[in-house]
Amino acid sequence: MLQLRVVQGEGAVYASGSRATRGVVVQVTDETGKPVDGATVSFRLPDQGPSGQFASGQRTEIVTTNAAGQAEVWGMQWGRETGAFEMRITAAMGQVRGSVVCPLYLSAAAVLT
Protein backbone atom coordinates (compact mmCIF):
# COMPACT_ATOMS: atom_id res chain seq x y z
CA MET A 1 0.00 0.00 0.00
CA LEU A 2 1.19 3.52 -0.79
CA GLN A 3 1.26 6.08 2.01
CA LEU A 4 0.28 9.68 1.18
CA ARG A 5 0.90 12.73 3.33
CA VAL A 6 -0.02 16.31 2.47
CA VAL A 7 3.15 18.35 3.05
CA GLN A 8 1.84 21.71 1.83
CA GLY A 9 -1.63 23.21 1.54
CA GLU A 10 -3.62 21.20 4.08
CA GLY A 11 -6.25 23.44 5.69
CA ALA A 12 -5.40 26.39 3.40
CA VAL A 13 -7.90 29.23 3.09
CA TYR A 14 -8.27 30.83 -0.34
CA ALA A 15 -10.34 33.83 -1.41
CA SER A 16 -13.35 32.73 -3.43
CA GLY A 17 -13.01 33.63 -7.11
CA SER A 18 -9.21 33.88 -6.86
CA ARG A 19 -6.43 31.89 -8.53
CA ALA A 20 -4.15 29.91 -6.22
CA THR A 21 -0.52 31.03 -6.30
CA ARG A 22 0.42 28.35 -3.78
CA GLY A 23 -0.70 24.80 -4.18
CA VAL A 24 -1.04 21.40 -2.63
CA VAL A 25 1.97 19.10 -2.36
CA VAL A 26 1.69 15.43 -1.43
CA GLN A 27 4.47 13.04 -0.40
CA VAL A 28 4.10 9.42 -1.61
CA THR A 29 6.05 6.67 0.15
CA ASP A 30 5.99 2.88 0.10
CA GLU A 31 5.31 0.67 3.13
CA THR A 32 8.93 1.11 4.30
CA GLY A 33 8.77 4.92 4.11
CA LYS A 34 10.87 5.18 0.94
CA PRO A 35 9.78 7.91 -1.55
CA VAL A 36 8.04 6.52 -4.63
CA ASP A 37 9.30 7.97 -7.92
CA GLY A 38 6.98 7.76 -10.94
CA ALA A 39 3.69 7.13 -9.13
CA THR A 40 0.57 8.53 -10.82
CA VAL A 41 -1.24 10.96 -8.52
CA SER A 42 -4.81 12.14 -9.10
CA PHE A 43 -5.97 15.38 -7.46
CA ARG A 44 -9.79 15.68 -7.50
CA LEU A 45 -11.96 18.72 -6.64
CA PRO A 46 -15.69 18.39 -5.80
CA ASP A 47 -18.25 18.64 -8.61
CA GLN A 48 -20.65 20.70 -6.46
CA GLY A 49 -20.48 23.23 -3.64
CA PRO A 50 -17.29 25.13 -2.84
CA SER A 51 -14.72 24.03 -5.38
CA GLY A 52 -12.73 25.17 -8.38
CA GLN A 53 -10.90 24.02 -11.47
CA PHE A 54 -7.29 23.20 -12.19
CA ALA A 55 -5.35 25.19 -14.80
CA SER A 56 -6.52 22.63 -17.38
CA GLY A 57 -10.14 23.70 -16.77
CA GLN A 58 -10.94 20.28 -15.30
CA ARG A 59 -11.76 19.18 -11.75
CA THR A 60 -9.17 16.39 -11.89
CA GLU A 61 -5.45 16.84 -12.43
CA ILE A 62 -2.99 13.95 -12.93
CA VAL A 63 0.64 14.42 -11.87
CA THR A 64 3.61 12.02 -11.62
CA THR A 65 5.77 11.98 -8.49
CA ASN A 66 9.37 13.14 -8.76
CA ALA A 67 12.47 11.36 -7.40
CA ALA A 68 11.63 12.70 -3.91
CA GLY A 69 8.17 11.08 -4.14
CA GLN A 70 6.38 14.42 -4.32
CA ALA A 71 3.57 15.61 -6.59
CA GLU A 72 2.21 19.16 -6.70
CA VAL A 73 -0.73 21.08 -8.13
CA TRP A 74 -1.23 24.85 -8.12
CA GLY A 75 -2.85 27.60 -10.12
CA MET A 76 -6.37 26.40 -9.31
CA GLN A 77 -9.15 28.85 -10.22
CA TRP A 78 -11.49 28.89 -7.24
CA GLY A 79 -15.24 29.22 -7.57
CA ARG A 80 -17.35 31.91 -5.90
CA GLU A 81 -19.22 29.65 -3.44
CA THR A 82 -17.65 29.86 0.02
CA GLY A 83 -17.18 27.13 2.62
CA ALA A 84 -15.17 24.04 3.48
CA PHE A 85 -14.45 21.29 0.94
CA GLU A 86 -12.04 18.42 0.37
CA MET A 87 -9.54 17.70 -2.37
CA ARG A 88 -9.29 13.92 -2.80
CA ILE A 89 -5.81 12.68 -3.67
CA THR A 90 -5.08 9.15 -4.88
CA ALA A 91 -1.73 7.65 -5.89
CA ALA A 92 -1.11 4.47 -7.89
CA MET A 93 2.01 2.54 -8.82
CA GLY A 94 1.17 -0.66 -10.66
CA GLN A 95 -1.45 -2.48 -8.58
CA VAL A 96 -0.55 -0.60 -5.38
CA ARG A 97 -2.69 2.38 -4.33
CA GLY A 98 -3.17 4.85 -1.51
CA SER A 99 -5.23 7.96 -0.86
CA VAL A 100 -5.63 10.96 1.40
CA VAL A 101 -8.04 13.88 1.74
CA CYS A 102 -6.85 17.49 1.93
CA PRO A 103 -9.31 19.88 3.64
CA LEU A 104 -9.50 23.37 2.09
CA TYR A 105 -11.69 26.45 2.58
CA LEU A 106 -12.95 29.24 0.31
CA SER A 107 -13.58 32.53 2.07
CA ALA A 108 -15.41 35.68 1.02
CA ALA A 109 -12.71 37.72 2.80
CA ALA A 110 -9.44 38.58 1.08
CA VAL A 111 -6.72 36.11 2.08
CA LEU A 112 -3.23 35.27 0.90
CA THR A 113 -3.33 32.57 -1.78
* DSSP-derived 3-state class of residue 97: strand
What Cα–Cα distance (Å) separates residue 93 from each residue in 8, 28, 42?
22, 10, 12
Task: Express each pLDDT in 61-79 by its tens digit.
Answer: 999 999 999 999 999 999 9
Amino acid identity for residue 91 in this structure: A
Q: Say if CB 77 and CB 53 are below 8 A apart.
A: yes
CA atoms within 13 A on the CB side of 84: 5
Task: Express each pLDDT in 20-60 by its tens digit.
Answer: 988 999 999 999 999 999 999 999 999 999 999 999 999 99
- Tell me the whole-structure pTM to 2 decimals: 0.93
